[in-house]
A = this chain, B = another copy of it.
């Protein structure tokens, strides 16, 4: 019997040209295309899977959420194994649950949580570069925490990114943002918001690193939020430090 399935997906973004399948032009390797190819081998005949949102080229995910309709006769756990058997090494289904027939991973999402990892070292380290951004000179943790104060709450983030649809709202609500010192030379920026603009987390990270290194003052964040001028935000952290960690739903939307 046809049912809608909600799937939590993890992928290493290094070898993908982002999440979203490319509609035209040269067909680069994308997460969506790889998933859809796997699903077709299980009898899926849809036009496109649904997703909570796209991730950029090189960005990772441990908690991307997708959904699709499938006629599957067995348990969801067996579906997980079946999909994974058809997926390449750099992407894997973590959980499969049956969802309400009208569940949409983007519209139903209440919030998204991202994590940006960086390490402060003067020399590159091949075992750390794949999932983190190397930063030098080191950043001042106290300055980062001062900068955070200005981030919390509902703001117009126009200076830090563009909306998914041209002309769309650039107002977003940050419900949680923190810097965590994972080890003496390793920092993690975690941010949860109802939704994000394109490149918003990477611009916020790059901007805060400039603050932490002393080239900007902590209150510069507030000035950018107030002016809304993209010209002020020249800092874009590279993609490999970023991971989409979680998409948050109201419990009652998922069976």
* Chain A residues in the interface with B (C-beta under 8 A): 10-12, 60, 62, 80, 84, 89-94, 123-127, 129-131, 243
- CB nearest to A94 among chain B residues: B123
B126 pairs with A89, CB closer than 8 A: yes
The answer to whether A123 touches B80 (Cβ under 8 A) is yes
Copies in the complex: 2
Q: Closest residue to A12 on the B side, CB-wise? A: B126
A177 → B minimal CB distance (Å): 22
Separation of A80 and B11 alpha carbons in the complex (Å) = 34
Residues on B with beta carbons closer than 8 Å to the beta carbon of A127? 10-12, 60, 62, 131, 243
Give the residue of B60, B62, B126, B243 whose beta carbon is less than 8 angstroms from that of A11.
Answer: B126
In the assembled complex, the Cα of A131 lies from the Cα of B130 at a distance in Å of 11
Q: How far does the Cβ of A132 sit from chain B's closest Cβ, in whole Å?
A: 12
> Are the CB atoms of A126 and B90 closer together than 8 Å?
yes
Residues of B within 8 A of A80 (CB): 123
In the complex, which residue of chain B has the Cβ closest to the Cβ of A130? B130
CA distance A173 to B11 in the complex (A): 41
Candidates B11, B62, B91, B125; contact of A92 at CB < 8 Å: B125
Smallest Cβ-Cβ distance to A93: which chain B residue: B123
Give min CB distance, A63 to chain B, whole Å: 11
Q: Which 6 A-B pairs have the closest CB atoms?
A: A12-B126, A90-B126, A92-B124, A10-B125, A11-B126, A92-B126
Which residue from chain B places its CB closest to the CB of A80 in the assembled complex?
B123
Given A84-B123, A94-B123, A123-B80, the answer on whether A89 and B129 have CB atoms closer than 8 Å is yes
Shortest Cβ gap from A1 to chain B (Å): 25
Query: Cα distance A151–B158 when bound, in Å?
Result: 60
Can you list 12 A-B pairs, Cβ within 8 angstroms, ordered by A? Answer: A10-B126, A10-B127, A11-B127, A62-B127, A89-B124, A89-B129, A90-B126, A92-B123, A92-B124, A92-B126, A127-B243, A130-B130
